[in-house]
Amino acid sequence: MLKKVYGFYGLFTLCMLAGAAISIAFSLVFGKKDLFFNMIFSAEDRISGIILGVFLAITSAIAILAVVQRNHVTGPLVMLNWVLIADAVAVIVVGSRLWFFSLRQRAEFHTKWVELAPADRITIQDMFSCCGYFMGNDTAEIGGKFCTSQDFANSLNATNTANFCVTPITAKTDYTLENTFTSIYAFMVPVIGLFLASLCVIQMRNEIERFKRIDLKRGGRGFV
């Protein structure tokens, strides 16, 4: 039984380390110069992802150091559990930050759209064959191959939301946001798994030590 517990402990520790690598790697990837990544993920989001990855990596190191201690030394395992609770809070905060953003993305991206450079707005309009954000007269950038004049922008059918950039932008970003915060929430699996495995290790080590003490009191004769 103890070997199985250690096996799960090791598995969840490896998963935790993999989660750390994923969090840091994707935070760096999302930080590259890309028009949509830069719209979706702010500098704070990317820094939060890196910090979360560092936390998970540190937790993995603590987990390894805690489990190699002698049976009667359970203090590091107890400390690990408190660290895992902090990790769980961090995962929920970072994931929920992106989740809440995704719920408000139509309004949030309007702010980002207004802040874009004119050349970037033209790039998006040409990419999706749209003019303006909510409407053709909503900060449409005249130029490029599609939105060639304000008259053309005003003539677009207002009932067809695909004519305006809010629909194609949010369709593209929604997929990225949903997969990102879902992946972050998935980090809770190794966090919870390692927490439970650590509790089991503590309990089993305490049992081993208790039986050792009883055995010593009986003069080392065991229970036979």
pLDDT tens, 18-37? 999 999 999 999 888 888 88
114 CB-near residues (< 8 Å, 6+ apart): 133, 139
Q: How far lies 176's CA from each of 15, 21, 37, in Å?
A: 23, 19, 9
Indicate whether 221 pLDDT > 60: no
Q: How far apart are the first and last CA of the chain?
A: 22
Q: Cβ of 189: how many Cβ atoms within 10 Å?
A: 13
Indicate whether 189 pLDDT > 50: yes
Pairwise CA distance, residues 12 & 215, whole Å: 34
Pairwise CA distance, residues 65 & 108, whole Å: 44
Pairwise CA distance, residues 178 & 98, whole Å: 8
DSSP three-state, residue 117: coil
Pairwise CA distance, residues 142 & 119, whole Å: 10
Q: How far lies 98's CA from each of 25, 58, 136, 165, 171, in Å?
A: 17, 23, 29, 21, 16
- At residue 224, the pLDDT reads 46
Question: What is the pTM assigned to this prediction?
Answer: 0.83
Q: How confident is the model at residue 223 (pLDDT cuts 50, 70, 90)?
A: very low
